[in-house]
Amino acid sequence: SDSHFPVPISPSHVDYSLHYPHFFPPADQVNCSKKIQFADIGCGFGGLLISLSTLFPEVLMIGMELRDKVTEYVKERILALRVSNPGQYQNISVVRTNSMKYIPNYFENGQLTKMFFLFPDPHFKEKNHRRRVISPHLLDEYAYVLGVGGIIYTITDVEELGEWMRSCLENHPMFEALTKEELEADPVVKLLSSATEEGQKVARNGGQTFQAVFRRIVPTS
């Protein structure tokens, strides 16, 4: 249950020196004003973070994962990469948490530039839709932590969930879809179906995927 993992009482209580010691050496903490900009929600085994790490080496990123053992695995994986590639993979980390409850404890208003929801659990039954990580209510929270211009990336192999995520985003006043040209120009879009362990499994089985990529906007009244 939630009582088994600590939750920071506010974003200023997130210990950056623990997650990114290369950027926040203990004695130097106050001098670094970097903040986490990318969040991979339900990051699983961490494949996306690892791909993004070298693509955006100066951007701090975090994976949020509910399962304890999976989180520990990702921690070990990142530490091993840091050791075998000196100076690299210092910008990624992972935290065990329930993202449906604690996003505002981790991020300030407007702090994030990208959020990822890759192959989230589908929760098929109608009565379980409230457990979906994209919902009208949770989009309010994501709109709060994303800066204007920030992007939400979603992908799934479950058509019904894909339609659900797209329609939640389309109906939310603070998000607009990226155009076809924008999607093609964004190097991150290519990673959605290939970088994570779940995406690779779907690709191996020849499964179809459904993506929705939307930008945080200022609503027109």
Catalytic residues, by residue number, are 121
- Confirm if 166 and 212 have CB atoms less than 8 A apart: yes
106 in contact with ligand SAM (CB under 6 A): no
Please classify residue 147 by burial: count the beta carbons closer than 10 Å to its beta carbon, then call 0-12 exposed, 13-18 middle and 19+ buried: middle
93 in contact with ligand SAM (CB under 6 A): no
The binding track of 3-42 with respect to ligand SAM, each residue x by CB under 6 A or -, is ---------------------------------------x
Dist CA 196 CA 44 (whole Å): 8
67 in contact with ligand SAM (CB under 6 A): yes
| φ/ψ (deg, to 5) at 109 | -55, 125
Q: Which is nearer to ligand SAM, 24 or 94 (CB)?
A: 94
For 92, half-sphere exposure in the C-beta direction (CA atoms, 13 angstrom radius) is 29
Of the candidate residues 199, 212, 213, 214, the single one contacting ligand SAM (CB under 6 A): 199
214 in contact with ligand SAM (CB under 6 A): no
Contacting residues toward ligand SAM, per CB under 6 A: 42-44, 64-67, 70, 98-100, 118-121, 196-199
